Amino acid sequence: MLRTKVKNACAYVRKYKFDWIWIDTCCIDKSSSAELSEALNSMYKYYAEARVCIVYLNDLEKSSNKATELLSRLKECKWFTRGWTLQKLIAPRYMVFLDQEWERVSTRFTLRHFISEVTSIPVNVFEGPALDDEKSQLGNYSIAQRMSWAAS
């Protein structure tokens, strides 16, 4: 499965003429607590500096174009419950979601109201620049508020 994911991810980014790809599922040695800790501390920066963050939803079946059906299926995706998700949702400038067939589903901006509903993160967080930008919306929220987003 990992081999297929890497192969398909590389093929996807080649279509858009990218020279480099970083894949968190194979670039982190999770058996090393030191490496895992360093990676967690660095990941936000990796995502914020990326030109695009691709979210492959391996459990999202291709659906019709009906928005309600798509939102219902998205709510069931395991990706929204993973530990890395919060950093991935907030940090990137641009994010695209792909279904299990590696087909584009939508962008974070287009899905921002849905993502807000699922995660309790305010919609405007997805409308502004990354955290390290002076115009970021994140500065408007306390540490306690941001930690509450991580709780789910």
Residue 135 in domain: no
| 7 pLDDT tier (thresholds 50, 70, 90) | very high
The domain total for the chain is 1
The predicted-structure confidence for 71-128, as pLDDT tens digits, reads as follows 888 888 888 877 667 888 888 888 999 999 999 999 999 999 988 888 888 998 888 6
Residue 120 in domain: no
Give buried/exposed letters for 10-42 (b at 16+ CB in 10 A, else e): eebbeeeeeeeeeeeeeebeeeeeeeeeebeee
Tell me how far apart the alpha carbons of residues 143 and 145 are, in angstroms, rounded to a whole number. 5
* pLDDT on residue 130: 55
CB atoms within 10 A of CB 112: 19
Cβ 52 vs Cβ 11: under 8 Å: no
Residue 98 in domain: yes
Residue 123 in domain: no
Residue 121 in domain: no
Cβ 89 vs Cβ 121: under 8 Å: yes
Asked whether the predicted pLDDT for residue 135 surpasses 80, the reply is no
Residue 97 in domain: yes
The predicted-structure confidence for 12-44, as pLDDT tens digits, reads as follows 999 989 888 888 766 666 787 887 777 777 888
Residue 35 in domain: yes
Residue 102 in domain: yes
Could you tell me the residue range of the domain that residue 16 belongs to?
A: 2-107
Tokens for 93, please give them. Answer: 């400038």
